[in-house]
A and B are shown apart, each in its own frame.
Chain A
Amino acid sequence: MTELHTPPYVVNIGPQHPSTHGVFRLKVTLDGERIIDAEMVLGYLHRSMEKLAEERTFTQNIPFTDRMDYLAAMTGNLAYCLAAEKLAGIEVPERGSYLRVIFAELQRIASHCMANGTFVNDCGAWQTPLMYMFRDREKILDLFEMTCGARLTTNYMRIGGVAFDVPDEWYPAIKALVAELPDRIAEYEELLLDSEILLARSRDIGVLKPEAAINASTSGPLLRGCGIAWDVRKADPYCVYDRFDFDIPVGHNGDCFDRFIVRLEEMRQSLRIVGQALTHLPGGPVSTPVPLALRPEPGEAYARIESPKGELGFYLVSDGGSAPYRWHVRSPSYINLNVLKDLTVGLSIADAIVTLGSLDINVGEIDR
């Protein structure tokens, strides 16, 4: 059978399109229905944070990290504060570290709810799973609001600890949530894992090979989805992660479905961590006093965490002044896009949208 070819023509997906999850533009060249070239156009949300940060003190830069990955502000705060603490040699009190772990894991669940909900939405399971997952995300955001007054741009962590201790009404609320969420996750599995809509659209689509994944510096569920058990929380524990018992879920085929499964299972593992952290939550201060005009010694530091999207790192350079000399973000959403072209060439547009959804990009973090 001979294949018919058409003259190549270009279709713009985005910048304003529901499947791009932000202002992201994918320019695909088609031959018939087949994608023969894909090029991304970025920068619609570029706010030049790395330049702005060079004119602000170390503490003033924390709100920028909320606005990078605005679906996971807590982990953005955490990565930056860890890097600044490493640079300045600051110790965090025990209770502060535990609260950081609890909020980072809650944020991971909230971010994965969003990622999985919109992913099945892209597959064609229109809105129903998304709304169920948003119900749980709302409860997590309520806990954030109770603690720091904000739901999205939390600005909760500080260099040296966290900004506030949790209020009394927080304890019954989080205990109820931790008791309730495993049933919810089981409900999602029941709803989705046998769903033809999800399976037919995501199995064997966008397959990533392990060697290619490592060579392209991918991280997070994208890397674990192709069978590599690499998680910074295990490999290079920060805060107090070495005290908790949890597993690293991995996929087998590296396709879109495996990334979805890995995220779903990670929500369950995060709950295990939150449960253990609540049991052993120590008393005492939540932060160390740090001078407002913090001036670290001249030097460089790279600190990284496992954010919901992957390895989020900060490379800070200090020249001894109040503001960082260089403030660089290793943003997982951006670097995971390295493989997008290879994954989408050869697919149809509908499959490319599913593949893009499975990468779980956040344009605020890509463009910074």
Chain B
Amino acid sequence: MQQADIFGLIKWQFHEQFTKERLLMSGFALAAITGTFLPVLNPRQDRLSKAIELGYGFSSSIAFTTAAWVRQTKERIYASIDKSGLEITKTTLKGRLVVANSVEEIAAKRDLLEHIKKLPESEQYYWASAYGLQGLLSPPIEVEAREEGRLALPAAQSEFVKHSPLEPQIDWLHKLVGEMALEPEKRKHHHLCINGGSQSGKSTLFSCILALLSQAIAKLNANSKIIINLIDPKYPKTRWSITPSFIGFEQVGDGIENAVGELEDRKLRCIEAEKNGLTHPDFDRYILVLDEWDSIWGEGKGYGKSISKQDAAKIRGSVLRILKESAAYNMTLVVIGQSPLSKTSGFSRSDLNSATRVVLGNEALKWTQDPGFPFNAIVSDLQEKLNYWIKKEARCALVCPNIGQPFVEAIPRFDEAKESTNSGNEDWLERINDWISSLEEIPTKEEVNEFYYSLMGERLNAAQLKELMNYLEIVEES
């Protein structure tokens, strides 16, 4: 607006000059015509007057011509000033339009926010991020004030308990494992691809999945067996709940061959059964676990002298074959590696179509920032949740099921709980006793359970809690 006014002023100054020039030229033209034609139209004058008139006419004519020449040289400048004025007007109008649109958009967002604020607090954050209103609404992450008269846990513990509730984390894991345990034709999650940096909890998470999977399969069919083919090139660096079947980089090829052999065998048995008019036999669950995939593949170059370039390509081919064909024969492949990016892992997006992907911690964040990330529509939502957990220094996972929407969940530190358990069962009992004696009043069942969780990383069920309360000789007031 200010610029337009300045130009308007300049234009006005020039306009004055235009008028003056026009008046001057009109004067010269009039004088030239009068001076030239007056002696012709009125010849009854003395010679000198006529000569003066003619001279006056001629000089005026010359003056007019000169003025016209000067004006012509200025023509371009005037034209550019006119053009600039027009451009400024256009820009000003566009600017006004943008401002008006933004004002309307902000008003609409505020209206929307008013509606969102009426929703339950737990839903507010989700809808605010869905509509891009994060800046206007703070996420409902405040710790609720504890009821008066009841004992509060220390602030740090209380916050961790609030922000990393164990139930929801176990819930998604239970759901995932529950579906993995189903029969092949009912199963949504056939294979798993777990990625994460060093010490991000990949192996621990898989151990947990394996334990839950064994339980779930046993529940469905008590007679079923699970065959686990664990290939760990860096054993014993990684702690597993079971001993690996193939150890070291030299044995990776053998391990894969074993799995391919099993696949071939199961295929043949199915073909024979079909020939004999029988239904397909029920195969035991075969789980092939391939750890340290990034090192084995080595971006196509293999691993040092142990795995050559050709071997790496052959292994990748076999893995792809298992990914594509094995699900129908009750076989599950679990690939564990560091980077989820196609460039490093050597798997394209379509290769992993039948796999559920679990990416842990910072690697998940890096993956969401990669242009090849497949869920661009909700990337900001996922990033926010990941950032939240990473900031809290909690372990978290981005889970991309092969069917359904991806989600972010915090995962418990199973290994730490294990370490503390291993350090001695007596220790935690002592600590609970210390804690109770430091309190001014007797804790409730829930508080004891919360404290147990803060120590051990898991909660007790009702029966266990009752037993603990009896052991501690705490009688609750009814």
- A, B assembled together: no
A-contacting residues of B (Cβ < 8 Å)?
none
